[in-house]
Amino acid sequence: MHDEGYSSNAWQNSEQSEPTSSSSYRRPSLTSHDDSLHSGSPQPRMSSDSGGISSGAKWRDTSTVLSNSQELLAPELVETTFDENILRALCDMDCGVPLLLDRIKQSMVSCREASVFLKKRALIEEEYGKTLQKLARTTAEVYSMNDGKAGTFVTAWQNCMKVHEVLGENRIRFSQRLNEMSEELANIAKEVDKNRKSTKELATRYERALQESETFTDKCKNRLDVTTEELERLLLQKEGESFKDNTVQARAGTTGGKRVIGKAVAKGGLLLKGKNPGNIQRQEDDIRSRMSAASDAFRKAVIDTQAMRQEYFNFQLPRILRALKECSDEIDLGTQYHLKRYAFLFESIILNDGSTLVPPKDEEGHSIGLRTGTEAIDNRGDFRTYMQNYAYAHSVSPRGGPRREGPSDEGFLPPLSSHNSDKPNPALSSSVTHVNGHNSPDKGHLTFSVDLGEQMARDDVEIPPIMKKCCDAIEKYGINLQGIYRLSGTTSKVAKLKQLLDKDLEAVNLDTQEWSSDINNVTSVLKMWLRELPEPLMTFSLQQGFIEAAKIENDRLRHIRLHERVNDLPDPNYATLKYLLGHLYRINQHASENSMTNQNLAIVFGPTLFGQSALTSGPSNSIADAPFQNQAIETILNHYTDIFVDDSE
């Protein structure tokens, strides 16, 4: 985030863009104490006229400091068009500057608290990740040196340690991101605090200069008042002496002149202390000269103070308030941004942990996660292998103990026949014996992992029976269920239902309490049947065509191209897709209750219907194509009636 000084040109441009805004910031001008001064006082100026203000040197120095200052920043996080009404309201308040200063102080406290929290959280995550990695590596090394179980258990155990090591690495990366965000928040708080102090100092300078100018104006006014009073006393004395002088001359014929003049002097006329009219005139001229100078000084002080006040309230104060408001917005938006980033990273690490525990399936349809790895442990097979190896290793040097065979005259019985000699191999028997008792391999009634075309040709149906059975039950018991198809069923229940459907589809009644009470088991089985098809419903050969069509940005053209790809599907796939999407179309009609919009349904069924193409080079390509798979299913659902429903229907 770079520093950017506020120049006067920027403010002039802002005022030109809003020519009427500065008038709203105008404060009342100073009222003159003299009518002549009031009539000659200048009109209030706008901030654009501030260049010609003839104020004191102190005010000019302060203006130069602000115009050349690089301390006031223009934060990138703050929009230049923030609410001007707030700025006007702040300008009309007497406490606008302290209000923003206190608000910035509160924001800095919040920002620093968030930075400290992220720092401590980073330390916890780093310690947890390193400890988990160390535990996984140490455990794997110790187990390899000890005499533990072998076989499938070793494979599962090593996979478990690798999973924990990856989880620890994820946490370490998460802690690094948290440290970065903590440092960025600390830098934002530090930078904003610096800007706050510099702006506060500039505001204080402006206020002090204005106060000093007002004080100087008051002194000039007092000086003018004193001179005016002195002139008034002189004029009153002058008028009083002239009147008495005329009276003395009028009475000169009747009384003695010396006596009258003596009485006038005794009564305190202008002739006191030897003053004569010439001295009085010189004194009057001197007072009038000093009064003119005081009047000019007072007028100039009033004009300068009024101009300074207009400059401050119309131009400098809005600049300072805008700078403080932008600082406040910068730290508030910066704190919010990093908290949102923290939430996103936290969600990402949780999802990443989930994908580590349950990774996506590979090209062969296998997914080796923590649970699948532990479920793959074959204790019976491991024990059988261990028993064979142990018997072979100890057959050379048998341990001492009772003998199994010997001569009959010593009481030994003849050996019994092998228990398995007359019985077929159980594994072979289970592979060739069907549930109905026939002793020949019969896949004619299997439902899962059987080609779609073969199923429909075998059963002589237009729609796979399992799909009709499951969709009917779902629409009957779960069409209004919150999150239908998004929620998974119980693993044991799903496995049991799959086994029953694979054994005898017709005998399974989904209306019973066992299955209707939790319809999520039925939805999970239906999705499992679609995933376990040897070839996905959208077929490998047409998968790339669907993806290319989904990448088209124009909605109408994308709809047309996907319609063409749907028509290219084989008949069994087309009929099954039409029935399934018709079912999902009816599910979407109750989206207000089940929250399953077309987008949510597409996210659930996109990977299920497309599968993973054999043409892709790895899981990364499938992950990259996943958004377009979802887009294809969503577009087909949005235009279901146009694509599948004829006018005759």
Residues 282-320: tens digit of each pLDDT = 888 888 889 899 899 999 989 998 888 888 888 888 888
- CB-CB contact of 381 with 151 (8 Å): yes
pLDDT at 262 over 80: no
CA angle 298, 303, 304 (to 5 degrees): 95
The rounded Cα 504 to chain-centroid distance in angstroms is 52
Taking the CB of residue 119, how many other CB atoms lie within 10 A of it?
16
3-state secondary structure at position 494: helix
Q: Per the structure block, which two tokens stand in for 502?
A: 């694979």
pLDDT at 402 over 80: no
pLDDT at 615 over 70: no
Mean pLDDT of the 176-186 span:
93
pLDDT at 259 over 50: no
pLDDT reported for residue 356: 86
With cut-offs at 50, 70 and 90, classify the pLDDT of residue 47.
Answer: very low
With cut-offs at 50, 70 and 90, classify the pLDDT of residue 177.
Answer: very high
Taking the CB of residue 285, how many other CB atoms lie within 10 A of it?
10
Q: What is the mean pLDDT of the chain?
A: 76
Positive/negative CA dihedral, 128, 129, 134, 137: positive
Return all residues near 280 (Cβ < 8 A) that are at least 6 apart. Answer: 234, 237, 238, 241, 270
Mean pLDDT of the 236-245 span:
64
Q: In whole angstroms, what is the distance from residue 382 CA to residue 163 CA?
A: 23
pLDDT reported for residue 238: 76
Q: Per the structure block, which two tokens stand in for 589?
A: 């009609």
- Per the listing, tokens 């693993």 go with 491
With cut-offs at 50, 70 and 90, classify the pLDDT of residue 8.
Answer: very low
Taking the CB of residue 139, how many other CB atoms lie within 10 A of it?
14
- Determine which helix (DSSP H) or strand (DSSP E) holds 146, and give its type and residue range: none
Mean pLDDT of the 155-183 span:
92
Inter-CA distances, 145 with 132, 141, 387, Å: 20, 7, 22
Q: Which of 243, 248, 281 is nearest to 263 (CA)?
A: 248
Inter-CA distances, 21 with 24, 26, 88, 393, 604, Å: 6, 10, 8, 99, 55
pLDDT reported for residue 411: 62
Q: Per the structure block, which two tokens stand in for 15?
A: 């005022």
Contacts 24+ apart (CB under 8 A), 450-459: 450/534, 451/533, 451/534, 451/535, 452/533, 452/535, 452/537, 452/572, 452/573, 452/576, 453/570, 453/572, 456/572, 456/575
- CB-CB contact of 81 with 329 (8 Å): no
pTM: 0.43
- Segment 323-336, tens digit of pLDDT: 898 899 999 999 99
- Segment 98-116, tens digit of pLDDT: 899 999 999 999 999 999 9
Q: In whole angstroms, what is the distance from residue 574 CA to residue 462 CA?
A: 10
- Segment 451-463, tens digit of pLDDT: 998 988 888 899 9
- Segment 370-390, tens digit of pLDDT: 888 888 888 888 888 888 777
- Determine which helix (DSSP H) or strand (DSSP E) holds 258, and give its type and residue range: helix 257-266
With cut-offs at 50, 70 and 90, classify the pLDDT of residue 415.
Answer: low
- CB-CB contact of 562 with 542 (8 Å): no
Backbone φ/ψ region at 274: left (φ over 0), alpha (ψ -120 to 50), beta: left
Inter-CA distances, 240 with 59, 109, 269, 646, Å: 48, 75, 7, 121
Mean pLDDT of the 113-129 span:
94
pLDDT reported for residue 89: 85
Q: What are phi and psi of 518, to 5 degrees?
A: -135, 90
Inter-CA distances, 433 with 150, 454, 498, Å: 32, 21, 19
- Per the listing, tokens 């610096």 go with 194
pLDDT reported for residue 416: 54
Higher pLDDT, 466 or 78: 466
Q: In whole angstroms, what is the distance from residue 66 CA to residue 369 CA?
A: 64
